[in-house]
Structure 1
């Protein structure tokens, strides 16, 4: 079983769904293998999960020779409230984020702030995202490959991104909690910082 087959089975198993009950879309960028986005309905929530970012390990672009087996691997999970109209561009935005390690040599990790330079989806005030730990279990790969981790994607506004740069990810999460902000609401406003 290949890496992506294991990752797909892991995420479908976590949500208790089979492939027939999942909507998929694919996005391709020049020079990068296709990234698939799975759309999984879960009660009042919808999960958008990337599939393809973990195809190869992430590494330092300054390394003379990339290790084709060892190194961290990750996929991304964006969870939003179901029933809220998410407009065009979300699949592309997630694809851009999942392709960032291949295109820019960035290693995706918890608390990383990624700036898209454009809205995550059409009309959104979110031009950056904050990554975090996911409750989806890692997918173990055959030795010596590192496991595949799932990282949550939380859309953030430019103001919130600046807050993360100055105060850190934990401070922004505390501000959200204190203000009672539902970070899964794609129509939410920015935290008052």
Structure 2
């Protein structure tokens, strides 16, 4: 995890003093850290700890402890657009999904938390996409750690993704000029 942390700090040009962190713990799992990095008018929330073990098929009898995809999450929001109380817990739940539920994080995955992502937010699910963060190469034979961009979505938008697909929702956001980094944004008119 220190190698992943170092790559994050290098990417954002910060050191430990420039990063806030919270820890989320689930019974039977190592803690998942949520890093908060402010750069300009954006706040980046990154998980650290979900990639300790590779993600794998939960139906397999023996999981490979070294090989398999490894993933972490990054959510970027506009700074100062309101309170995000409870967001660290929600990101921890999403990051723990591979270990708890056997979910494999991948682009265009829709993950539903069935409650507001943070206090008062209209978003109850997230859509994963590619991240600007480069993969973190680990020593062989481990697969690299990949970060996935997390975009909060409303229940209506999540339904749209289930029916039309992730690209259709992204196109609707683009056509409507919706800033998906705005935590106070409304849902796309679908």
Cα separation, 2, equivalents of 1:140 and 1:158 = 36
Matching residue of 1:29? 26
Matching residue of 2:135? 138
User: If the length of structure 2 is used for normalisation, what is the TM-score?
Assistant: 0.99
The answer to whether residue 166 in structure 2 is matched with residue 172 in structure 1 is no
* 8 Å contact from structure 2 (residues 43, 79) kept in 1: yes
Aligned residue runs from structure 1 range 98-137, under 5 A: 98-137=95-134
Matching residue of 2:180? 183
* 8 Å contact from structure 2 (residues 82, 184) kept in 1: no
Q: Which deviations, in whole Å up to 9, do the C-alpha atoms of 1:12-36 show, x marking residues without a partner? A: 1110111111001101111121000
Q: How many residues align?
A: 190
Cα separation, 2, equivalents of 1:191 and 1:41 = 27
Matching residue of 2:42? 45
Equivalent residue for 1:16, pick from 13, 36, 41: 13
CA shift, 1:187, in A, is 0.7
User: If the length of structure 1 is used for normalisation, what is the TM-score?
Assistant: 0.97
The answer to whether residue 154 in structure 2 is matched with residue 154 in structure 1 is no
Name the SS for the 1:32 alignment partner.
Answer: coil
Stretches of structure 1 that go unaligned for 5 or more consecutive residues are none
Equivalent residue for 1:77, pick from 70, 74, 78: 74
Q: Which runs of 4+ in 1 moved over 3 A?
A: none
Matching residue of 2:89? 92
CA shift, 1:86, in A, is 2.4
Give the root-mean-square deviation of aligned CA atoms.
0.6
Stretches of structure 2 that go unaligned for 5 or more consecutive residues are none
